Amino acid sequence: MTIANINNLSLVSIAMQRLINRQDGLPGLGVLYGPSGYGQTTATVAVAHAPRAYYVQLRSAWSKKTLLEKICFEMGLPPANTAAGCLDLICEQLAASQRPLILDEADYLVTKAGMIELVRDIYEGSQAPVMLVGEEMLPNKLKRFERFHGRVLAWIPAQPVSLDDAAALAALYAPNTEISAELLAHLVAVAHGSVRRITVNLVNLADFAATNGLSMLGMADIAKAELYKGEPPKRGV
């Protein structure tokens, strides 16, 4: 999978290395947070490859046992019959490998009793780096769990998409279309920080250019090439 080298990718990579290479005695928990669409998941999936991190994306219906089983599957381990047995397997594997564990959609952890404590058990039982990835209010939600909150070494706020990010994304998602600097700046403005909106609009513009036999696009073209602004389509359109 090819990933554009945008700012959030660098931030997550630096934070992960900080967790992996932390000094003895420092905690090994990290939290990446930001609004939906800022590219947290894409960045963490990309960063996970280098340190061979285990990556699990949570679901709303998961119980503590389900979470443990999914982590075991990600590790290539047959789950134990009990939650306690699964926990022991996970801690042993992480302690032996010291490979990081990334838990995406981590907001689900704070909505169910015992889930955050379970993640803390995994960390305490292995001392391996653990990174949570979630929405922008995740740090505030974690304040209720002082024994977890106090062990976070790195808080990483995802950054809104920048003009430099947009240029890097354009090279990946619209490689055959030259997009003017003015139009690229406009895409950033209407994206309201969202990497996802930039990406969708770049793909739409590239399709528009290819359909109309154009190699360059500027501000004059956006009246014909409809841009996605995060709003539902108007009735009858």
User: Per-residue pLDDT tens for 91-141?
Assistant: 999 999 999 999 999 999 999 999 999 999 999 999 999 999 999 999 999
Q: In the chain, which ranges are E strands?
A: 29-33, 54-57, 101-104, 130-134, 152-157, 178-179, 216-217
Residue 45 belongs to some domain of the structure: yes
Same domain, 88 and 201: no
Shared domain for 202 and 112, answered yes or no, is: no
The rounded distance, in Å, linking the Cα atoms of 119 and 31 is: 13
Question: pLDDT class for 234, splitting at 50, 70, 90?
Answer: low
Q: How many domains does the chain have?
A: 2
Please tell me the distance from the alpha carbon of residue 224 to that of residue 18, in angstroms, as a whole number: 47
Q: pLDDT band at residue 233, thresholds of 50, 70 and 90?
A: low
* CB-based contact 64:115 (threshold 8 Å): yes
Helix (H) or strand (E) holding 202, with range, is: helix 195-211
Does 144 lie in the same domain as 123? yes
pLDDT over 50 at 237, yes or no: no
Instruction: Choose between 237 and 165: higher pLDDT.
Output: 165
* Domain membership flag for residue 204: yes
CA 88 – CA 80 distance, rounded (Å) = 9
Whether residue 237 lies inside any domain: the answer is no
* Cα torsion angle, 223, 229, 230, 232, sign: negative
The model's confidence at residue 215, banded by pLDDT at 50, 70 and 90, is very high
| Number of neighbouring beta carbons within 10 Å of residue 149 | 17
Residue range(s) defining the domain that contains residue 95: 7-157
98: left (phi over 0), alpha (psi -120 to 50) or beta: left
Which CATH number goes with the domain that contains 192?
A: 1.10.8
Check residue 151 and report its DSSP letter. Answer: T
Mean pLDDT of 49-71: 94
User: Is residue 194 domain-resident?
Assistant: yes
Q: What is the band of 50 on the pLDDT scale with cuts at 50, 70, 90?
A: confident
Provide the percentage of residues in the chain whose pLDDT is more than 90.
Answer: 86
148 and 170 together in one domain: no
For residue 159, how far is the Cα from the chain centroid?
12
Q: Kindly state whether residues 126 and 173 are assigned to the same domain.
A: no
Please give the share of the chain, as a percent, with pLDDT higher than 70: 96
- Cα–Cα distances (Å) from 64 to 55, 109, 122, 146, in that order, read 17, 9, 12, 20
